[in-house]
């Protein structure tokens, strides 16, 4: 597996982020065109196709956002445990979930200093990731 760093840590799944998204957009556009061109007798079924495509888009959006929220909770728990192992204290309350997510890529050697810097300078997730010198890859996320 390729060594992970800031430039290549984002993960895109072609089947989901590409094909599914484009398919749902095509379905929505096609169903709207179908409603516009439908006769009075077919208007109800054509409208149901538009509703179905909108519901599928919402379903895909919420399925992804719920999975990311669960992943964020797992990351927070993992980083809290990591911080406890290193310091015998829980993570500082001043850290936001986005900051914690950025910190997960920091090596143990720079982790504690980066936490203090993130709190002091109110660093964003992106700024934290860019500040990491020794990247610790996360190869199991979805």
Residue with tokens 């700024």: 127
Q: Is residue 139 part of a domain?
A: no
What number is the average pLDDT over the span 79-106?
Answer: 96
Residue 142: pLDDT over 70: no
φ/ψ of 106, rounded to 5, equals -80, 145
pLDDT in tens, 33-55: 999 999 999 999 999 999 999 99
User: Is there a contact between 83 and 107 (Cβ–Cβ < 8 Å)?
Assistant: no
Rounded distance, CA 124 to CA 142, Å? 22
Q: Is residue 82 part of a domain?
A: yes
Tokens matching residue 4: 């992970």
Q: Is residue 111 part of a domain?
A: yes
Residue 141: pLDDT over 90: no
Residue 70: pLDDT over 80: yes
- pTM comes to 0.75
Give the H/E segment covering residue 90.
none
pLDDT in tens, 6-41: 766 776 677 877 889 999 999 999 999 999 999 999
Q: Is residue 138 part of a domain?
A: no
pLDDT of amino acid 7: 62
Domain that holds residue 97: 6-131
Specify which residues 135 forms β-bridges with.
Answer: 106
Sign of the alpha-carbon dihedral angle for 62, 65, 67, 73: negative
- pLDDT grade for 1, boundaries at 50, 70 and 90: low
Q: Is residue 140 part of a domain?
A: no
Domain total in the chain: 1
Sequence-distant (≥ 6) Cβ neighbours of residue 114 within 8 angstroms: 103, 106, 128, 131, 132
Rounded distance, CA 1 to CA 14, Å? 18
Q: Is residue 74 part of a domain?
A: yes
Q: Is residue 142 part of a domain?
A: no
Q: Is residue 44 part of a domain?
A: yes
Residue 69: pLDDT over 70: yes
pLDDT in tens, 98-134: 999 999 999 999 999 999 999 999 999 999 999 999 9
φ/ψ of 61, rounded to 5, equals -65, -50
Sequence-distant (≥ 6) Cβ neighbours of residue 130 within 8 angstroms: 6
What number is the average pLDDT over the span 53-80?
Answer: 94
């Amino acid at each position: 597996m390729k060594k992970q760093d800031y430039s290549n840590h984002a993960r895109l799944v072609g089947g989901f982020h590409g094909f599914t998204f484009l398919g749902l957009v095509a379905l929505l556009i096609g169903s709207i065109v179908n409603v516009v061109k439908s006769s009075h007798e077919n208007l109800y079924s054509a409208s149901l196709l538009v509703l179905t495509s909108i519901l599928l888009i919402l379903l895909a959006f919420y399925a992804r956002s719920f999975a990311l929220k669960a992943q964020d909770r797992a990351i927070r728990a993992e980083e809290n445990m990591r911080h406890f192992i290193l310091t015998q204290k829980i993570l500082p309350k001043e850290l936001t979930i986005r900051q914690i997510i950025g910190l997960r890529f920091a090596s143990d050697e720079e982790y504690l200093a980066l936490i203090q810097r993130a709190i002091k300078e109110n660093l964003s997730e992106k700024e934290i990731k860019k500040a990491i010198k020794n990247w610790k890859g996360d190869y199991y996320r979805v």
